[in-house]
Amino acid sequence: MHAAAPPRRTWAILVAVCGLLLPLIITSMPTARAAATRYEAESAASISGSTVDTNHTGYSGTGFVNTPNASGAWVEWTVNADDAGTATLGIRYSNGTTADRPVTITVNGSTLGTGTAFAATANWDTWATKNITATLKAGSNTVRVTATTAGGAPNLDYLETGTSVPVTPGMAVAPYEYFGWGNPPSPTAVMAATGVKWFTLAFILSDGGCNPAWDGSRPLTGGDDQAKINAIRSAGGDIIISFGGWSGAKLGEKCTSASALAGAYQKVINAYRLKVIDIDIENTEWENATVRQRVVDALKIVKQNNPGIKTIVTFGTTTSGPDSTGVDMINRAAGSGLANDIWCIMPFDFGGGSTNMGTLTTQAMEGLKAKVKAAYGYSDAATYAHIGLSSMNGKTDVAGELVRIQDFQTMLAYAQQHRIARLTYWSVNRDRACGSGSDGDSCSGVPQQPYDFLKVFARYAG
């Protein structure tokens, strides 16, 4: 990420330490809630490998869907939602056998969890309702129930939606905004337009010694940066502050001991009563093994002195996951006993091309997951809850590399499937079309409406 003034952001200018999954302590997005609606199975949008029957009693509508005793048959409903949000889906069914009937449930192509089992009912004339919780997008959604074993799915009567609870993007989404250049938009205007409540503000650097300053030159408190932070909080939001980036003098290098570095971090934590910090470790700070260890040890001190604070470490990646330096950083932290909350990669500027950055990002995330799991010994679910991504919207710093809206949608689906800790990007400054005289640090380089990219990620609640 950048730090000083305008060079186009090399590959780390951004994405500082990605995000987090904490409980959402922010107000909910003001949107309407959808009333309950019933969708009969016999009238579903798609029925495959099954029949509509009436040979049992107690069903609703004109019949029910009877799946064969085989895997692969499905029923798919088209479900409409007024607003994006989580909703309760009640599936009415009967299962007259003595065993559970497992199925796979997908919403908009993404699998919900690892499988759902429909318990036995007293007989085929006895109906029960299985409630599941799903995240719906505003407008049309597809909900599919597919038999996964030779026993088939249960008989399906209808799907009914409960009251929809709008998604409120929390700390997991906190987009980067840079106040130093790039014609930064008003953060409160971004909040009003997208519903986001959290921002990751970049960057805190060295003022020449072991002392923190915005961009290494603007005062830590009392200036325009603090005024904007005050405005975010007055509007019901909060902030993560990012240390580092690509350019400028890094505190990790200027502070010559872990205790001194922890003290520099602490000055910022105290100044803004921070709940989360992001260490965007790049360039010379990243390349020096001594400095990497100093950062690890300093974060241990920070966590000891600030119970409950969350730490994010953000760094670059290859298309297959962390390179040898990234693996070394993760292993150093695990070996040193640092319980880092989020390991966040920046999946861009790595030669991804113009059509598959979403797929390559999920591939890189799986590589990150494997390295974090191996280092810490977490379960799969716990590992996903400790990793995140910070993408770049539109044209990146590599010629021919392009992150499209479709790629953000792929990343969102991955986040929703695995419940990752952070889903963010560089940056709000760039989330608009370019005008005359615009540069790559203040626009995306692709046709779009303001905040089109952020509105995709804002559907993620963590």
CB 421 within 8 A of CB 387: yes
Task: Point out the residues of the chain with pLDDT beneath 50.
Answer: 1-34
CB 293 within 8 A of CB 335: no
CATH of the domain at 417: 3.20.20.80
Q: CB under 8 Å to 172, separation ≥6 — which residues? A: 19, 20, 21, 388, 415, 420, 421, 422, 423, 424, 460, 461, 462
> Which pair of tokens denotes residue 286?
């990243």
Let me know whether 120 and 195 are in one domain: no
Residue 21 forms part of a structural domain: no
Count the domains in the chain. 2
> Which pair of tokens denotes residue 72?
């692969």
Q: By C-alpha distance, which of 364, 343, 361 is closest to 409? A: 361
Q: Which residues are the active-site residues?
A: 282
Q: By C-alpha distance, which of 64, 82, 108 is closest to 161? A: 82
Last residue of a domain, one of 163, 188, 209: 163
Q: How many residues does the chain have?
A: 462
Let me know whether 190 and 114 are in one domain: no
Report the Cα 161 to chain-centroid distance in Å: 25
pLDDT number for residue 113? 65
pLDDT in tens, 192-242: 999 999 999 999 999 999 999 999 999 999 999 999 999 999 999 999 999
Residue 22 forms part of a structural domain: no
203: preceding bond cis by omega (within 30 degrees)? yes
Structural domain including 125 reads 37-163
DSSP class of 420: -
Residue 24 forms part of a structural domain: no
Let me know whether 159 and 184 are in one domain: no
pLDDT number for residue 87? 85
Q: By C-alpha distance, which of 452, 432, 451, 455 is closest to 442? A: 432
Q: CB under 8 Å to 87, separation ≥6 — which residues? A: 34, 81, 133, 134, 135, 136, 161, 162, 163, 164, 165
Let me know whether 181 and 323 are in one domain: yes
pLDDT in tens, 128-179: 888 888 888 888 999 999 999 999 999 999 999 876 566 778 999 999 999 9
pLDDT number for residue 165? 62
- b/e for 419-435, b at 16 or more Cβ within 10 A? ebbbbbbbbbbbbbebe
Give the Cα separation of 458 and 103 in Å (integer).
30
pLDDT number for residue 83? 77
pLDDT number for residue 166? 67
* Residue type for position 11: W
Q: By C-alpha distance, which of 336, 334, 428 is closest to 386? A: 334
Distances (CA, A) of 177 to 14, 60, 185, 446: 9, 52, 8, 19
Per DSSP, the three-state class of 324 is helix
DSSP class of 254: H
DSSP class of 407: H
pLDDT in tens, 47-58: 999 999 999 999
Conformational region of residue 42, where left means phi above 0, alpha means psi within -120 to 50, and beta covers everything else: alpha
Let me know whether 123 and 187 are in one domain: no
Residue 384 forms part of a structural domain: yes
Per DSSP, the three-state class of 336 is helix
Give the Cα separation of 49 and 247 in Å (integer).
59
Residue 16 forms part of a structural domain: no
pLDDT number for residue 122? 81
Let me know whether 99 and 141 are in one domain: yes
Let me know whether 188 and 257 are in one domain: yes
Q: How far apart are the first and last CA of the chain?
A: 24
427: preceding bond cis by omega (within 30 degrees)? yes
CATH of the domain at 64: 2.60.120.260
Let me know whether 265 and 180 are in one domain: yes
Give the Cα separation of 454 and 175 in Å (integer).
8
Give the Cα separation of 84 and 416 in Å (integer).
13
DSSP class of 115: -
Last residue of a domain, one of 163, 191, 226: 163
Per DSSP, the three-state class of 356 is coil
pLDDT number for residue 114? 58
- Side-chain-side CA neighbours of 119 within 13 Å: the count stands at 6
CB 445 within 8 A of CB 4: no
> Which pair of tokens denotes residue 160?
């009914």
pLDDT number for residue 242? 98
Let me know whether 189 and 86 are in one domain: no
Let me know whether 126 and 180 are in one domain: no
Residue 393 forms part of a structural domain: yes
Let me know whether 283 and 333 are in one domain: yes
Residue 353 forms part of a structural domain: yes
- b/e for 240-258, b at 16 or more Cβ within 10 A? bbbbbbbbbbbbbbbbeeb
Let me know whether 199 and 341 are in one domain: yes
Residue 3 forms part of a structural domain: no
DSSP class of 428: G
Last residue of a domain, one of 163, 193, 212: 163
Instruction: Kindly tell me the sign of the dihedral angle through the C-alpha atoms of 423, 429, 433, 438.
Output: negative
